[in-house]
Structures are given as C-alpha cells and as structure tokens.
Amino acid sequence: MIEEKKFPKIEGESLSGKEVTLPDDTEGEVILVAVAFKREAQGMIDSWMNYFEELCEGKEAYELPVIESSFWKVFSGFIDSGMKSGIPEEKHDSVVTHYGDASDFKETLGIEDKRLGYVFLLDENGRVVFKGEGYADEGGKEELLKHVKMVCEQ
C-alpha cells in the first residue's frame, strides 16, 4: 500500500488508435491501471487483471505498456500491431502504450524494479488507493479486495 496520492498524468495511444490521458479520461470512475516495462511482466499483470475483472465486472481496467526509449517511438506502429494481434479486439481501447520518458511517474508511483508488473487501483478522483506488484498472491488479492470494497461502496 502506498500513501494516497493523485495518479500522475500519463498520455498514450490505445491499440484502437484513441489518444488517452490517465487519469483525466477516467475521472469519476474507479479503475485499475496495470503498468509494465518488460514483456516478461505480462503474466504478473494478467494475474491482477483477471482477479480484478472477477471482482468488478463492468469496471475499467487499463494496461499501460511503457517503452521508455524514444528510439522505439519510430517503430510504434509495428510494436502496437504486434500487441494487437495478441490481444482480443474488445480490449484494444484499454491498452494504452506510452512511449518516452517515464522517470517522473516511476518516482511518483514508487516503481523501482522494471522487471515487475505493477497495478494501481484509482478512486473516482484519480487517487491511488492500492498498489500491487509482481504476481497477485493471496495476500495481495485480499488487500485489493479490501480496497475495492472501500472505494466502490462510497
């Protein structure tokens, strides 16, 4: 758990081609944002996302792949089309790739190990009320459930 703070503004393009700014575009909604810097973190992200979807049918969950090197921005179309082929079309709106510097939001969110996947539960005001990292174990799931109940029952 981290001290409640506003989720930093992060811009990117969804796999469906929409420009998305988190948390601005989700104001008034409780959402889960999963952040990964490495492809190998996908299983970790999925463990949290699948559990969140079971808990909160109808609530939004966003995946935020982060590619820090501006060099790769040139290949963004190729990279995004590769991701599209492995992700069901109905999820393309909620996969938002961020290309470029991420040092500010890594620091704000306490992201220290880029090999891990991270999840952040945001309340309707865009404040982080829960942080999970790595794989969702039983303790992490219980903690997420507790915070989901708190923000969804307000």
Alpha carbon of residue 112 to chain centroid: 16
- Count the neighbouring beta carbons within 10 Å of the beta carbon of residue 6: 12
For residue 72, the 8-state DSSP code is G
Averaged over 73-77, what is the pLDDT?
Answer: 46
pTM: 0.84
Taking 80 as the threshold, does the pLDDT of residue 72 lie above it?
Answer: no
Averaged over 108-119, what is the pLDDT?
Answer: 93
Question: What tokens were used for 45?
Answer: 């992200």
Please, what sign has the CA dihedral across residues 51, 124, 5, 147? negative
Question: What tokens were used for 19?
Answer: 């420009």
CA dihedral 104, 45, 86, 97 (to 10 degrees): -10
| Region of poorest pLDDT, from 25-39, 63-77, 116-130 | 63-77
SS3 59: coil
Q: Which residue has the higher pLDDT, 86 or 45?
A: 45
Taking 60 as the threshold, does the pLDDT of residue 64 lie above it?
Answer: yes
- Domain 5-152 fold is Glutaredoxin (3.40.30)
Q: Which residues 6+ apart lie within 8 Å of 68 measured at CB?
A: 37, 100, 101, 102
Q: Name residue 120's beta-bridge partners.
A: 33, 131
* Residue 101 φ then ψ, to 5°: -60, 135
Taking 70 as the threshold, does the pLDDT of residue 106 lie above it?
Answer: yes
Tell me what the pLDDT averaged over the chain comes to: 82
